[in-house]
Amino acid sequence: MIRFAVARLMGGLFIALVATLPARAAVQIEEVLSPGGITAWLVQEPSIPFMALELRFRGGASLDAPGKRGAINLMTGLLEEGAGDLDARAFARELESLAASFGYDIGNDALSVSASFLTENRAEAVELLRKSISEPRFDEVALERVREQVLTGLRSDAKDPAKIARTTFDAMAYGDHPYGSPYRGTIESVTALTRADMLDAHAAVFAKDRLYVGVVGDITPAELGPLLDTLLGALPDTGAPQPGPANIQIKGGTTVVPFDTPQSVAIFGQRGIEQDDPDFFAARVLNQVLGAGGFESRLMTEVREKRGLTYGVSSFLIPQDHAATLQGQVASANERVAEAVSVIRDEWARAAAEGVTQAELDAAKTFVTGAYPLRFDGNAPIARIMVGMQMLGLPIDYIATRNEKVEAVTLDDVKRIAAELLDPEGLHFVVVGQPDGLESSVAN
Amino acid sequence: MPRLRAALAGLALTTILSVAPPLAAQERDDQVTSFELDNGMQVVVVEDNRAPVVQHMVWYRAGSADEPVGSSGVAHFLEHLLFKATDTLADGEFSATVAANGGRDNAFTSYDYTAYFQRVAADRLELMMRMEADRMRNINFTDQNVATERDVILEERNQRTDSNPRALFSEQMNAAQYLNHRYGVPIIGWRHEMETLDKADALGFYDTYYYPNNAILVVSGDVDPDEVKALAETYYGVIPANPDLPERMRSAEPPQTAERRLVYRDARVAQSYVSRSYLAPERDPGDQTAAAALTLLAEVLGGGQTSYLTEKLQFEEQKAVFSGAFYRGTTLDDTTFDVVIVPVPGLSLEDAEAAMDATLASFLEDGVDKEALERIKYQLRASEIYARDNVDSTARRYGAAMSVGLTVEDIQAWPDVLQAVTADDIMDAARMVLNRDASVTGWLTRPEGEVTQ
């Protein structure tokens, strides 16, 4: 391809400069152990008078009790709807009067609490956050209001082609494992949830044995220790057991879900690779070339840039706690989506058979290493990165060594992992829409 | 609930393609330096030296509302084509070079501007400038590029608009709101006009507007203003200005004297709701007080969990799953003030609209809660602190405001103008803007004969 040749000519000078990129972001992480025994990773950043705090509780919505799908999601939505002596409205007024921001997010592997608050009212903000985590009221009136908001979302999901594709794919891939059903639950399961279920959901998730903490901002280690004990010291030691590994059941083929819309949405996927696998970075670089590399990826080049079949196509590694997959997504007009699917299948097979070129490998490595420091662009993002590192069991000096692992990937590594990982026969497409020329089929 | 609010926010707000505008937030002025090149290009530098990262943006004062009649979507189409070849760069080489330097790039188009940006390690700023300056005057795309990229923007319209009944409804609302102004035409374009866009349309727009005297350079991150100035003079300063740059004149709205109503029906609608937009003034250079009052009105009336509409409709009367008010004042011409109610199950849209109107009427009776206003003003002051942690959003705010003719002084005065707004100012603004003659009321619902949720 001409553009790569030209890029090399013009880019030679600049690629040489890449070696001068900061080997790591200027982030000094220290581990803080509170008097009460809670560990946090801290980056002191005194230049702006606020701090960002990230808490993550492993397990998240996958800890839903049998028959109670959606309970933990609903419980999460209620954390900001009244706590301690404050009802929902009083809680909201207090939060606004502190100009603090508390975010509660739920996923299949973790419940996250993301808070930012000013130094000038830190103690009050921590107390309000503590109440929401440890003393949520789950008032019936709030339960009904938030339940209706969740149901509104579920009804919208049922009419959203991308959500239909997601639900269909996950059910096929993970079966009865919690990953196999939407963590927001179903209309039926959410409708049946009670206040007692909220208390159970709360007890399942919030415990010290699954807690990870990251802090960035205007606070010293000596101040942080007591803060952690005030905020989290009263949590129980343990909660619900974590689910076991998911058995990835999806086989190659195509599943068409009829839906009346002008543009089909497809989610495609197959088995992936665990994040602690020695070949993970080789797979990461491979996927950069295949479908994660923005305009430059093979999928974007072939499906969008050459053929105009879509606005966007991408592939992504999803190394979750209990299953690892390689997935992708594309949307294309009903009359053209079959061609998009065909092109993607061809690219999958080509990469599996041939790997990538040296030029592609070099460009991908340069991007993956160069983009890494750009992620450390604010207190809250750095706090999130540190919590993610802890959940993966990475060492505290990982940031300094991460790019070396990327640089160490060789062309042979990528070729080998491409052959091992990419499974053109095992790639399954779930297509939602009225696609011309596509029918459901399953490979043997 | 934030998730729902986020999902619904797009239906009432003026939209932007590719990237959502940041929430209003202010920073200390000492982070910001501004100057102008000899050829008229404005430059803003926002410093944050904590991480070795830079964001480089060029904003053109040319958006969809500046397009010639009959070629809607050409501003956005041209934005796509700027990633093709130039006289010195091959097709796709721009983005490939950014990526090969570990960076990311993209662009976005709105009614009043088109902007291009890269985020990259700070020592790559010169390369970004060299390439961005190159494509300001030297694009060189082919007929094949035009044909393929037209398919891409049609797929983008499929994805953003035609697959989404809320977006289609919003498009109809806007079209009804503006009797004569181009804000009534969607940014991405009407499909039948997009299908006819060609090379001449794109080059015509390019050769009218893509000049340094119609552009703003905004650089944020780990940079030194003097170095930015030297680089900007080297790469942008040498490009001649367009002496024939047209004055920015859009067809203005006549007085709006008749309320408009519409019902948009779509089988894909899962949640019916009522939306109302009122024509509203925008921020004007040197005169931002009305817009400031409307900004605070939106907060007091429908900006969060303690706002008036939420208290009444969600907590007290329990008639709404969601309610809100929205205002975005950073536009060149008259904008809209929007209110929305998503009714609880079993409540008809007629009754929901009546409840919303009764609540608006009672707000005009009750006035502004003083404590609520103080909370909002404190949050606005705090947002200046939080914004210092995110210079890229500060940079986007400067770019957007300067694209609609506001000055650096206007932007830096804005926090004080907001703090000076009184409860009386807010009520005056409410009585002015809540004028049904200049409004559109829309119902989004399922086809007749089908049972709604």
Q: How far apart are CA A252 and CA A380, in angstroms?
A: 40
Helix axes A411-421, A358-371, angle to 10 degrees: 90
Judge whether B79 counts as a catalytic residue: yes
pLDDT at B205 over 50: yes
Query: Which pLDDT belongs to residue B243?
Result: 96
Q: What is the pLDDT of residues B226-257, one digit of tens each?
A: 999 999 999 999 999 999 999 998 899 999 99
Helix axes A88-98, B370-387, angle to 10 degrees: 50
| Arithmetic mean of pLDDT over chain A | 92
Sequence-ordered strand ranges (E) for A246-287:
253-258, 263-271
Chain B interface includes A37 (CB < 8 A) = no
* Residues contacting residue A90 through CB under 8 Å, at least 6 positions apart: A82
Q: What is the mean pLDDT of residues A35-50?
A: 96
Query: Which pLDDT belongs to residue A14?
Result: 31
Residue of B nearest to A304 (CA): B152
Neighbouring CB atoms inside 10 A of B370's CB total: 9
Query: Which pLDDT belongs to residue B451?
Result: 53
pLDDT over 70 percentage in chain A: 94
Residue of B nearest to A146 (CA): B1
Q: Please check whether residue A319 is in contact with residue A388, taking contact to mean a CB–CB distance below 8 angstroms.
A: no
Query: Which pLDDT belongs to residue A75?
Result: 98
Q: Inter-chain contact B305–A97, Cβ cutoff 8 Å?
A: no
Q: Which residue has the tokens 């420091």?
A: A373
Residue of B nearest to A432 (CA): B163
pLDDT at B15 over 50: no
Q: Inter-chain contact A96–B150, Cβ cutoff 8 Å?
A: no
Q: Starting from the edge strand earliest in sequence, which strands make up the sheet with A110-118, in order?
A: A30-33, A39-44, A211-217, A50-58, A110-118, A101-106
Q: Please check whether residue A254 is in contact with residue A341, taking contact to mean a CB–CB distance below 8 angstroms.
A: yes
Q: How far is B415 from chain A (nearest CA, A)?
A: 16
Q: What is the pLDDT of residues B30-58, one digit of tens each?
A: 789 999 999 999 999 999 998 899 999 99
Chain B interface includes A13 (CB < 8 A) = no
Query: Which pLDDT belongs to residue B249?
Result: 81
A328 three-class SS: strand
Helices (H), A112-239: 122-134, 140-157, 161-174, 187-192, 195-205, 221-232
- Give kind and range of the element (H or E) at residue A211: strand A211-217
User: Which of the residues B27, B47, B79, B132 is marked catalytic?
Assistant: B79
Q: What are phi and psi of A106, to 5 degrees?
A: -125, 140
Comparing C-alpha atoms, which of A124, A47, A24, A28 is closest to residue A84? A124
Comparing C-alpha atoms, which of A219, A292, A264, A279 is closest to residue A46? A219
Q: What are phi and psi of B428, to 5 degrees?
A: -60, -45
Q: Please check whether residue A164 is in contact with residue A259, taking contact to mean a CB–CB distance below 8 angstroms.
A: yes
Radius of gyration of chain B (CA): 22
Q: What is the pLDDT of residues A419-439, one digit of tens each?
A: 999 999 999 999 999 999 999
ipTM value for the complex: 0.87
Comparing C-alpha atoms, which of B25, B58, B32, B15 is closest to residue B403? B58
Q: What are phi and psi of A67, to 5 degrees?
A: 80, 0
**Amino acid found at B45:** V
Q: What are phi and psi of A297, to 5 degrees?
A: -65, 160
CA distances from A15 to A8, A366, A370, A410 (A): 9, 8, 11, 18
* Residues contacting residue B325 through CB under 8 Å, at least 6 positions apart: B297, B298, B301, B302, B303, B307, B309, B337, B338, B339, B340
pLDDT over 90 percentage in chain B: 89
* Candidates A77, A308, A369; nearest CB to B149: A308
Query: Which pLDDT belongs to residue A26?
Result: 62
Please tell me what DSSP assigns to residue B446. P
Comparing C-alpha atoms, which of A125, A126, A114, A38 is closest to residue A76? A114
Q: What are phi and psi of A75, to 5 degrees?
A: -60, -40
Q: Inter-chain contact A6–B305, Cβ cutoff 8 Å?
A: no
Sequence-ordered strand ranges (E) for B110-211:
114-121
Query: Which pLDDT belongs to residue A27?
Result: 81
Q: Inter-chain contact B382–A25, Cβ cutoff 8 Å?
A: no
Q: Please check whether residue A431 is in contact with residue A257, taking contact to mean a CB–CB distance below 8 angstroms.
A: yes
Q: Inter-chain contact B90–A7, Cβ cutoff 8 Å?
A: yes
Comparing C-alpha atoms, which of B402, B110, B62, B107 is closest to residue B209? B62
Residue A444 confidence class, pLDDT cut points 50, 70, 90: low
Q: Inter-chain contact A263–B155, Cβ cutoff 8 Å?
A: yes
* Candidates A15, A374, A378; nearest CB to B389: A378
Q: Which residue has the tokens 């794109």?
A: B202
Task: Give me B437's structure tokens.
Answer: 């003659």
Q: What is the pTM of this model?
A: 0.90
Q: How far is A391 from chain B (nearest CA, A)?
A: 25
Q: How far apart are CA B306 and CA A158, in angstroms?
A: 31
Q: What is the pLDDT of residues B403-431, one digit of tens each?
A: 999 999 999 999 999 999 999 999 999 99
Q: What is the pLDDT of residues A287-315, one digit of tens each?
A: 999 999 788 899 999 999 999 999 999 99
